[in-house]
Structure 1
């Protein structure tokens, strides 16, 4: 169940604040448009709380941003390690530093 859920990016607070400011919105204006409290927007922008799935969707749609780790291109997405049986060994995932 949790494997399919995307994690929120680490810099979600900066992304929200930057996009809000670029849109010319105050925290109160954004809160009104999302039907949320201004205190929630403040807490999100200060990194004090993570957005719920619902609030995350609203922010992404309103501000045109992406707050999910899984949606960004990841350097491991095209990795094709593993044995012929489809199972991975420690050697598939460890990088040696000799």
Structure 2
């Protein structure tokens, strides 16, 4: 369930500010467009506040940006190790405590 959730990117605050400035909008202009308070935009751009899912969606649409990165299955693809024949067993990844 949680493996396929998207995570907020670490630089979400910079992405929001850069996209807003590139669109030549003030924080107040963006807040008006999103029907949110300018103080929320300030807090987001300073990294003091995480956007709710609703606000995140509005920001992504209004500024044409992505604030999430996919997690889960992609991370598993980078894992290498284990069996020489390309198949893994439980013994390849588990270490027994009684040994």
TM-score relative to the length of structure 2: 0.73
1:31 aligns to what?
A: 31
Could you list the structure 1 runs, at least 4 aligned residues long, displaced by more than 6 angstroms after superposition.
none
2:78 aligns to what?
A: 79
Cα distance, 1:28 vs structure 2: 0.5
Structure 1, unmatched stretches of 5+, are 91-98
Which string of whole-angstrom CA distances, capped at 9 and with x for unpartnered residues, describes residues 38-67 of structure 1? 110000000000011111111111101111
**Between structures 1 and 2, the one with greater strand share:** 2
Compare CA radii of gyration and give the structure with the larger one: 2
State how far apart, in whole Å, the 2-side matches of 1:8 and 1:77 are. Answer: 19
**Between structures 1 and 2, the one with greater helix share:** 2
How many residue pairs end up in the alignment?
Answer: 87
Structure 1 segment 1-98 matched on structure 2, within 5 A: 1-70=1-70, 76=75, 78-79=77-78, 81=80, 84-85=87-88, 89=93
TM-score relative to the length of structure 1: 0.74
How big is the alpha-carbon RMSD for the aligned residues of Structure 1 and Structure 2? 2.4
Cα distance, 1:85 vs structure 2: 4.8
Which structure is richer in relative contact order (CA contacts within 8 A, separation 6 or more)? 2
